Chain A
């Protein structure tokens, strides 16, 4: 049984990158949602949650329209990076983003909102800038919950199948992630390969979730 480990390596890289991007976006949006009120806030929050409930094929279809070679965004990407986005491993990152970002934004916002209001208020009244309030008060107090959400988002973004196959395709050695490789192996009658990959990916997910739970519990203990 010769196993090609490229899909696993690619999946980990894709998940790590999408989680990192989601974390940055999540922190910013969490700050925005938890400290500001503005018009269209509810609609924006609903849009961010939408990927969690829509079928992957629907999301894949939207992304193809939005990022395909005929679209403005797709053309812009091609002009900047010199190659189209679709059917590259970067497209798999975009696919994974649709799973990790909503989770991270949702949980980070909840984490920031769970910080008792008197702490940021006290910090502001002590003359601390919004930047300082965020980095030195709100974020440290919400940090363990955000880390837990990050582990969860990482596990979730390892597992995309539908959007990846529509947007990045199934090109062995280039865009084939673990979940696609498993499908491929089952289809091709290579049950042993599928079994190993399934076990490995389950193990990674289990470890991530255990970490997420531990960090989540830690923060609950602190809040009390």
Chain B
């Protein structure tokens, strides 16, 4: 269990603007994810928990150990906290072999058992063959696995992973995720993972905290957040979201329906059917969002909005179609077959997928 309230202000200097971190991370998830863009305060949160930086105010509790409490002026040293910290760029000591690196962390294990413990950990992380090599002679994936193995040997109270997959290519990422899954099953400590990769957050996180400009803007299960971003900010962070203005032209609460006049980027206007928005009157102005993969695009249909296709991009599994007004649809496989007159397509905005944003 992690319960961390952290407040820290950095005053502006010549080379940096003022930054204020004010977050509350409270979770019982085995793997919790801090998600957000660079400069959101993710790493600073992690550093505060590890004890590398001292918050101005707050309280950090990990399981039943109080790491920091501003009120009672308590602050454990990084050594006492033992927050197994795995850095973005591997921090295996470059002058030691991998085995020596692991041995360094195993200081608390009795000497006679240490060799065996290090050997077992090396095997578990498939590093037995390269144990005698220095970090410079290891691959990126091996280095990152070695860093995590080293952290685990120090009997950490929490595992803090700062963008562990950055710099790894897709297959190595998958390998790392599989390994973290194993770790999650094997150790009983909370894992806090920082990432700005949404796929990673979705794959690993049981709970996700979205950070922006030093604040938690939303928290919850990753799939829920992706489905229902609370604010326009979050929708923008998640990407793949179309956000536009809408005005309620007509509504029918009984049938859970409304008619909306929408305005997207560069003034492109269209009308569509939406759900009933409780608490909003006729003529009310709303901010709406819809996931790019929720849009339905067909060549011919009776309803939907007729839109001119601007750009078509192929992804691995999907086609990304950009229409006028910057409306983007992600269509699985070869979904845009059949063609359309003059590049005009019928785009449907399923009513149940429209999200009201703050």
Residues of A near any B CB (own CB < 8 A): 116, 118-119, 121-129, 132, 136-137, 140-141, 222
Given contacts A140-B95, A141-B95, contact A127 B87 (CB under 8 A): no
B52 close to chain A: CB less than 8 A:
yes
- When the two chains form their complex, are residues B50 and A125 in contact, meaning their CB atoms are under 8 A apart? yes
CA gap between A119 and B135 in the complex, in Å: 13
- When the two chains form their complex, are residues B104 and A125 in contact, meaning their CB atoms are under 8 A apart? no
CA gap between A119 and B91 in the complex, in Å: 6
Residues of B within 8 A of A129 (CB): 79
- When the two chains form their complex, are residues B95 and A126 in contact, meaning their CB atoms are under 8 A apart? no
CA gap between A62 and B104 in the complex, in Å: 48
- When the two chains form their complex, are residues B82 and A121 in contact, meaning their CB atoms are under 8 A apart? no
- When the two chains form their complex, are residues B93 and A124 in contact, meaning their CB atoms are under 8 A apart? no
State how many angstroms separate the Cβ of A9 from the closest Cβ of chain B.
Answer: 37
- When the two chains form their complex, are residues B104 and A126 in contact, meaning their CB atoms are under 8 A apart? yes
State how many angstroms separate the Cβ of A117 from the closest Cβ of chain B.
Answer: 8
CA gap between A116 and B79 in the complex, in Å: 19
Residues of B within 8 A of A136 (CB): 104
CA gap between A67 and B237 in the complex, in Å: 68
- When the two chains form their complex, are residues A125 and B95 in contact, meaning their CB atoms are under 8 A apart? no
30 A-B pairs with C-beta separation under 8 A: A116-B91, A121-B50, A121-B78, A121-B87, A121-B91, A122-B85, A122-B87, A123-B93, A124-B52, A124-B78, A125-B50, A125-B51, A125-B81, A125-B85, A125-B154, A126-B82, A126-B104, A126-B105, A126-B107, A126-B154, A127-B79, A127-B105, A127-B154, A128-B79, A128-B107, A129-B79, A132-B107, A136-B104, A137-B93, A141-B95
CA gap between A116 and B50 in the complex, in Å: 17
CA gap between A122 and B156 in the complex, in Å: 12
Given contacts A140-B95, A141-B94, contact A123 B104 (CB under 8 A): yes
CA gap between A136 and B108 in the complex, in Å: 16
- When the two chains form their complex, are residues A127 and B93 in contact, meaning their CB atoms are under 8 A apart? no
- Chain A's interface: helix, strand, loop or mixed, by majority? helix
Given contacts A119-B91, A119-B93, A121-B78, contact A126 B151 (CB under 8 A): yes
CA gap between A136 and B83 in the complex, in Å: 20
- When the two chains form their complex, are residues B95 and A127 in contact, meaning their CB atoms are under 8 A apart? no
Please give me the residue from chain B that is nearest to A121 by CB atom.
B52
- When the two chains form their complex, are residues B52 and A127 in contact, meaning their CB atoms are under 8 A apart? no
B214 close to chain A: CB less than 8 A:
no
CA gap between A136 and B105 in the complex, in Å: 12
Residues of B within 8 A of A127 (CB): 79, 82, 105, 107-108, 154
B9 close to chain A: CB less than 8 A:
no
Q: When the two chains form the complex, which single residue of A121, A132, A137, A140 contacts B85, counting CB atoms closer than 8 Å?
A: A121
B84 close to chain A: CB less than 8 A:
yes
Query: Among the interface residues B77, B83, B91, B105, which one has the most CB atoms of the partner chain A within 10 A?
Result: B91
Interface residues of B in 64-109 (CB under 8 A from A): 77-79, 81-85, 87, 89, 91, 93-95, 104-105, 107-108
CA gap between A137 and B85 in the complex, in Å: 16
State how many angstroms separate the Cβ of A152 from the closest Cβ of chain B.
Answer: 23
State how many angstroms separate the Cβ of A180 from the closest Cβ of chain B.
Answer: 43
A-B contacts besides A121-B91, A126-B150, 6 pairs, CB < 8 Å: A123-B93, A123-B104, A124-B79, A125-B79, A127-B79, A141-B94
State how many angstroms separate the Cβ of A182 from the closest Cβ of chain B.
Answer: 43
**When A and B form their complex, which 6 residue pairs have the shortest distance between CB atoms, in order from nearest?**
A122-B91, A124-B78, A118-B91, A126-B154, A125-B85, A126-B105
CA gap between A140 and B50 in the complex, in Å: 24
Q: When the two chains form the complex, which single residue of B78, B93, B94, B107 contacts A125, counting CB atoms closer than 8 Å?
A: B78
CA gap between A201 and B95 in the complex, in Å: 36
Residues of B within 8 A of A132 (CB): 107
- When the two chains form their complex, are residues B89 and A118 in contact, meaning their CB atoms are under 8 A apart? yes
CA gap between A29 and B81 in the complex, in Å: 27
CA gap between A126 and B104 in the complex, in Å: 8
Please give me the residue from chain A that is nearest to B136 by CB atom.
A222
Residues of A within 8 A of B154 (CB): 125-127
- When the two chains form their complex, are residues A126 and B84 in contact, meaning their CB atoms are under 8 A apart? yes
Residues of A within 8 A of B79 (CB): 124-125, 127-129
Residues of B within 8 A of A119 (CB): 91, 93
Please give me the residue from chain A that is nearest to B108 by CB atom.
A127
Residues of A within 8 A of B105 (CB): 126-127
Please give me the residue from chain B that is nearest to A117 by CB atom.
B52
Please give me the residue from chain B that is nearest to A224 by CB atom.
B136
Residues of A within 8 A of B104 (CB): 123, 126, 128, 136
State how many angstroms separate the Cβ of A135 from the closest Cβ of chain B.
Answer: 12
State how many angstroms separate the Cβ of A221 from the closest Cβ of chain B.
Answer: 11
CA gap between A136 and B87 in the complex, in Å: 19
State how many angstroms separate the Cβ of B249 from the closest Cβ of chain A.
Answer: 57
Please give me the residue from chain A that is nearest to B155 by CB atom.
A127
Please give me the residue from chain A that is nearest to B86 by CB atom.
A122
State how many angstroms separate the Cβ of B189 from the closest Cβ of chain A.
Answer: 13
- When the two chains form their complex, are residues A118 and B84 in contact, meaning their CB atoms are under 8 A apart? no
Residues of B within 8 A of A122 (CB): 85, 87, 91, 93
Residues of A within 8 A of B85 (CB): 121-122, 125
Residues of A within 8 A of B156 (CB): 125
Residues of A within 8 A of B95 (CB): 140-141
CA gap between A132 and B96 in the complex, in Å: 14
Interface residues of B in 130-178 (CB under 8 A from A): 150-151, 154, 156, 160
Query: Among the interface residues B82, B93, B108, which one has the most CB atoms of the partner chain A within 10 A?
Result: B93
Given contacts A124-B79, A141-B95, contact A118 B87 (CB under 8 A): yes
